[in-house]
Amino acid sequence: MTRHRGELAIVLCASAALAALFLFPIVSHFTRAGRIDNADGQFAIWNVAWVARTLLTDPRHVFDANIFFPHRSTLSYSEANLVAGALGLPAYWLTHGNAFAAHNAALVLAFVLSATGMYYLVRRLTTDRRAAAVSAVCFAFCPYMFAHLPHIQLLMTFGLPFSMLAFHRLNERPGIVTGAVLGAVMTVQAIACGYYGVFDALMVGVAVLIAAAIGRRWSDVDYWLAVGTAASVAVVLVAPVYAPYVRLQRDLGFARPLEAADMFSAAWSTYLASSSYLHIWMLNYLPPWKEVAFPGFVAVVFALAAPGLWWRTRLRETLSIYGAIAALALWASFGPRAGLYAALYRTIPVFSLLRASQRFGIVVDFATCVLAGIVLAAVLARIRYATAVGVAIAIFAAIELLVPLNIPIADPPDPAYAVLARQPAGALIELPFYYPEVGLYQHAKYMLASTYHWKPIVNGYSDYIPPDFYDHALTLAAFPNRDGFKILEANHVRYAMFHMYGYNGENRHEILGRLADFHAYLRPVFANETTQLYEITGFPR
């Protein structure tokens, strides 16, 4: 037992050290660095902080996020990121509510857990720690991960190796316990990322069928009882978390047409695209791509040799499982026109909530790294100085996958937010109020700023936008005005914050004129050269 704990400690420490190296610009400015240069990055930081804070203070209302006021259950308008929020919770608490620290803690832990999961999966399949280490590096730090740093949910890949590890335990010792463990691990992955929850279920389903066929387990009652237990546990545990999404789809008709996946489908160039230092030269020779899914030369070279091990009977089932997963995920990633994704869309209801078929690329990378580890273990077993060779390959894999990162450092928050945080409870509208023609994504910066005061805000940005948000956008963009006051009165909005950098030239003259016209209804709370904060004390008739 002590030896196993020591190994786990070494794996975790090595994974953390690699994560710190790869993510140094983030780790070195832990409480200020983040992808605030785009709306998705701002959204992710807000999201993780909201979940971390609410799990600490009011977990029953975690889905009632503070955006799109007065709407409820607004966290379900996009990925909830409950697992990322839970991972970031200790850092949020220790830093007294720093949103960047919460997000960055979840981000670093995602890499550490992915490396750890892959290490133990390949070690179980091969019993070779050296091959397991190489696979862990190739998967956890593949270029796909760094291409999605603004999308915290897409970094939660650790459930893929841990789920397959749980499946192999079930396959070897089928029973209620192993089945329940598999179901619980799949639940964590489904809650961590909706896309990966679907991918995970499909992966396990393929593995179950192939293991049953090759192992002749169609009549094995214990096997199917364990599989049924896993499915039941996963459904029971996932249902409460997915209920808000079901209501959103039922009540508001939120769904994505099959044709939308065409815009987010992979091409063959996807699987050669990478921004790492040693791969970037390839980009000049590739046609356009929309996703980054090249797992690196180390993973690809060894994985391509996997068919050569087919003659080994004891590896046949494992090679078949991961070869099939890679092939089917590759096929699905090419989107509706390739056929498989369209078939899945028409037969599995949850696919109506998905859109980016190219994200199957992470499953291709995952299976490729597993196959690479199996082949490498076979090679190392037949050569001299195997440990030295294994270490050298792991080091080269890490060097090969290093990606240049340019992570912005956040400026100190506007002092108006500190003043607002001390005001009595009440909802806020921030202006300029952006409408579709100028980009709704610009509301994400207001969401990030709300982590300094946590007042409900009329503003919002998400996958789903409420219809009345579109209806009111142009009216509220001209606030203060009589129609705008009417909307805010009906919704019981108490505060209005004007960011003067958003008003230039004639627009600035107009906004100052309107503020003067309606001064009787706006009590100044704070003002400096860039920001004016008011309490709405009355409404014109």
Three-state secondary structure string covering 98-130: CHHHHHHHHHHHHHHHHHHHHHHHHHHHHCCHH
Residues 518, 391 share a domain: no
Say if residue 215 is in the same domain as residue 120.
Answer: yes
* Assigned domain for 97 exists: yes
Q: Which of 245, 248, 262, 230 is nearest to 345 (CA)?
A: 262
pLDDT in tens, 334-367: 999 999 999 999 998 888 878 899 999 999 999 9
pLDDT, position 249: 72
Q: Are residues 181 and 102 in the same domain?
A: yes
Q: Are residues 355 and 500 in the same domain?
A: no
Please identify, among 401, 424, 440, the residue that sits at the C-terminal boundary of a domain: 401
Cβ count within 10 A of residue 169: 18
Residue 274 lies inside a defined structural domain of this protein:
yes
**Phi, psi dihedrals of residue 274, rounded to the nearest 5°:** -160, 145
Report residue 71: phi and psi, to 5°: -65, 150
Is residue 218, in this structure, part of any structural domain at all? yes
Same domain, 385 and 434: no
The model's pTM is 0.95
Whether residue 361 is found in the same domain as residue 287: yes
Pick from 401, 428, 448: which residue ends a domain? 401
Angle among Cα 424, 451, 110 to the nearest 5 degrees reads 150
If asked whether residues 452 and 396 sit together in one domain, one would say no
| Structural domain total, the chain | 2
| pLDDT tops 90 at residue 111 | yes
Query: How confident is the model over 161-184, as pLDDT tens digits?
Result: 999 999 999 999 999 999 999 999
Q: Does residue 362 sit within a domain? A: yes
Domain contains 408: no
pLDDT at 416: 97
Instruction: State residue 261's pLDDT score.
Output: 86
Residue 541 maps to a domain: no
Q: Which of 401, 426, 448 is the last residue of a domain?
A: 401
**475 lies in which domain range?**
415-536
- Edge to edge, the sheet with strand 493-499 lists 427-431, 493-499, 531-536, 522-527
311 and 456 part of one domain: no
> Do residue 318 and residue 274 come from a single domain?
yes
Q: Could you tell me if residue 465 is inside a domain?
A: yes
For the chain, state the CA radius of gyration: 25
The reply to whether 184 falls in a domain is yes
